[in-house]
Structure 1
Amino acid sequence: MNSRAKRAIVPLAGAVIASGVVGASLTTTAEAQAKPRTKTVTLAKSAAEATAIVKAWTPAKLKAAKSYTEELGVKGKLARSVRPAKADGPAGSVPPIGASSSGSAKNVNLPRTVGKVFFEIGGEQYWCSATSIQSKYRNLVATAGHCAYDTDTNTATKQFVFIPSYHQGKAPYGVYVGYKLNFHSDFDVFEDYDRDYAFINVYNGIKPNTGPTKDFRPVDVGRLGDNVGGQGFTWNRNPKSTYFTFGYPAGAHLDGDKPYSGNTMKWCYGTSSTMPAAPEFNVQEHLGFKCAFTPGASGGPWLYGYRNSTRVGYVGGVNSLVWDTDGNGRYDRVSSPYFDGETYSVYKAAANLWSPVYPGAKKAPVGSGPAHKG
């Protein structure tokens, strides 16, 4: 067990579009004040390497992966933070793409953009939750920073893939290999979980490896955003805002109860408020709301303005920590870094990056692959 796991109190498996460029015509006070410190790391250097990664993630390997237990839990009474989250400029937003018409429903319609990210750390296979998010090249995934970068070894996770709409082992829209990892340098340098978010550019999707590995041939199913759409992005929102969060909880509560399998997507809904400091994770400015998610929900999006009829909203946070605030052995809150002008700067840098294509990969026949277009 690494040092971060040891010091965790409890472990938990978390604008304007102009001329096609995200944020091209908007300069906010927050952006002018913020000093962008985006760190970018290449995950898979070539299409050949990306193909090999999809080939390696066999159904058995996906099934054997564990929810990422390095995510973090905090136990303690709610208290006022000495430095609560607050806006560093006016609020802003980037609109979503690929809204679908789902009609009216009594239950919450789950977003097709949300799925699982699978990766390796120290030769072990893990997964977290994530979502497709709007970008110039329709190739971007949002998740928690600790689901893409290991601060103990100061290295990016390996074999990184995203499977949107993951359901009981199936990849209905293909497998998307990580190309570029973009995150705030404070997460790396200071292990600052007030910056626990990451935006990953991905290659086009490939049909999953479902047969003998030696027979695997890549079939290109197209861009992520074309296939499942992409959630919008928002920053500098009122700390008291209403969100839906989605993810794949899997682990047990502190009392041992294990209500979730991790095979299907779940959701919570609530109004956020500022959370107390968690010094062991350098947390001062998290927001949280009531939710009983357990390990596996890490990295799942907080969606502001989510509409049940279209299945899209605006990413205004990601699941980072879980909290047992009343000491009864049950997780009762999730928390996220506050998305401010610096978060927008990291997002904007990632949202304008291109991913390579698969030269020579077979194209999926019309009508045989994902059909949803944004």
Structure 2
Amino acid sequence: MSLRRAMITSAAALSLLAPVVVAGPARAATVATVPLATVVDKAREVAGFWLADDAANLRAATPYTVPAAATGGERLSSGVVPDGPAVSIPPIGAENPPPGDEVVTSGKVFFIGSDGLPHWCTGTSVQSAYRNLVATAGHCVFDIEAPMGALGKWVFVPAYSDGAAPYGLYVGKQGVTHYDFEDLHDFDRDYAFATVHSGVVLSAPGTLTTVGRLGDNVGGLGIAANQPLPPAADVFGHPSGPHPDGSSPYGGGSLERSTGPTFAVKPSGLRVDRPVGVDSPFTASPGAAWVTGYDAGTRAGYLNGLTISVADTDADGRYDTGVSPYFDTGLFQVYRDAASRWTGSITYVSG
């Protein structure tokens, strides 16, 4: 399928699925938003903060450990009942696909936490009308340690590695989540989408140069909601931190992939009612993408979960399960709202 045809197909799918989304007051009660860097001058300041001094602040960022991992849990034999019709939005490809087999839709989101220090989670580029959307855990956009608001200086760097932003740095414009997460800290709704301005690089000290839209540069995963639990999911994330037994197989420096079956799960120490689990050896990896139908040739698939915690379900001292909210109608409503929001360039055009 040609890129143009894929874009038309994606747009048509968005249009056809519109009736699924609740409109008017009900929609307003479902979706909560928070400004990130909505003004161009502010967005430029945020980009400069992360890119200056050979990306010193990117390099200094540490893994985000809020909330803490579940202390244990139980894998359940029951399934999860959808609350509406199954829906899916197809993935989009990059305008000029990067060479090799690197998973460039995934990367790190960086921000300033309540402690005033730089931190990161995993984030993922997803399909949207303006090719400008990132998915991650809700607590990696919204600050749950303070009166609910945005985490500071929020940016996304796809394929991030050791201070390098090979496809640019994308400053967040607006965060979108479910009202129940923003208002009630309901971790069944611990997901968020952030719209991002067009990407930039530092071409000279103090000089930002645009590199274009996120989806044009790296593509974007599709979205699947109200689906039966898949037989297996691929998890793409940056696991870090130790297992309960003290072993530390992951340092968070590189994108890792694991593949395992999914199941209903009852984690302990985490306030959730109907989460889902995936068999995965990852230690803490908030925001890691759960992908179904992943095609290694096109590096595309459907986002169907986001790691919000990990659990040790067999009490052997090692995490064996990733935990995600179930992607239901509420998730799809939040996604559809975020996917329709426009952003633009933060560089000044002369002439």
Q: TM-score, normalised by structure 1?
A: 0.83
Change (3 A) 1:200 1:22: farther
- Supply the AA of the counterpart residue of 2:293: G
Identity, in percent, stands at: 39
**What is the rounded CA distance, in whole Å, between the counterparts of 1:70 and 1:19 in structure 2?**
35
Q: Which moved more, 1:200-209 or 1:34-43?
A: 34-43
Q: Do structure 1's residue 87 and structure 2's residue 75 form an aligned pair?
A: no
**What is the rounded CA distance, in whole Å, between the counterparts of 1:112 and 1:19 in structure 2?**
20
**1:130 corresponds to which of 118, 123, 136:** 123
**What is the rounded CA distance, in whole Å, between the counterparts of 1:31 and 1:269 in structure 2?**
34
Q: Do structure 1's residue 203 and structure 2's residue 192 form an aligned pair?
A: no
Consecutive unaligned residues of structure 1, counting only runs of 5 or more, are 1-15, 363-374
- Supply the AA of the counterpart residue of 1:24: S
**2:70 corresponds to which of 70, 74, 77:** 74
Output aligned runs, 1:90-101, within 5 Å: 90-98=85-93
- For each residue in 1:70-107, what CA deviation from the matched residue of structure 2 results, as whole angstroms up to 9, or x when unmatched? 133122341549x963211221111111168799x9xx
- Supply the AA of the counterpart residue of 2:182: D
**2:278 corresponds to which of 264, 289, 294:** 289
- Supply the AA of the counterpart residue of 1:150: D
Q: Secondary structure at the match of 2:172?
A: strand
Q: Do structure 1's residue 329 and structure 2's residue 317 form an aligned pair?
A: yes
Output aligned runs, 1:162-173, within 5 Å: 162-173=156-167
Deviation at 1:30, TM superposition (A): 7.8
* Equivalence for 1:26: 17
Q: Do structure 1's residue 159 and structure 2's residue 157 form an aligned pair?
A: no
Contact 1:319/1:334 (<8 A) preserved: yes
* Equivalence for 1:242: 232
**What is the rounded CA distance, in whole Å, between the counterparts of 1:21 and 1:336 in structure 2?**
29
* Equivalence for 1:51: 44
* Equivalence for 1:227: 217
- Supply the AA of the counterpart residue of 2:282: F
Change (3 A) 1:22 1:206: farther
Deviation at 1:323, TM superposition (A): 0.3
Q: Which moved more, 1:235-244 or 1:326-335?
A: 235-244
- For each residue in 1:207-231, what CA deviation from the matched residue of structure 2 results, as whole angstroms up to 9, or x when unmatched? 048x7xxx31110110000000011
Deviation at 1:335, TM superposition (A): 1.1
Instruction: Kindly report the root-mean-square deviation, in angstroms, between the aligned alpha carbons of the 2 structures.
Output: 2.7
Change (3 A) 1:270 1:170: same
Contact 1:80/1:276 (<8 A) preserved: yes
Consecutive unaligned residues of structure 2, counting only runs of 5 or more, are 1-6
Q: TM-score, normalised by structure 2?
A: 0.88
**What is the rounded CA distance, in whole Å, between the counterparts of 2:168 and 2:154 in structure 1?**
14
After the TM superposition, which parts of structure 1 deviate over 3 Å for at least 4 consecutive aligned residues? 16-22, 27-32, 99-103
- Supply the AA of the counterpart residue of 1:91: A
Q: Secondary structure at the match of 2:162?
A: coil
Structure whose residues are more often helix by fraction: 2
**What is the rounded CA distance, in whole Å, between the counterparts of 2:128 and 2:62 in structure 1?**
29
- Supply the AA of the counterpart residue of 1:157: L
Contact 1:205/1:221 (<8 A) preserved: yes
Deviation at 1:321, TM superposition (A): 1.0
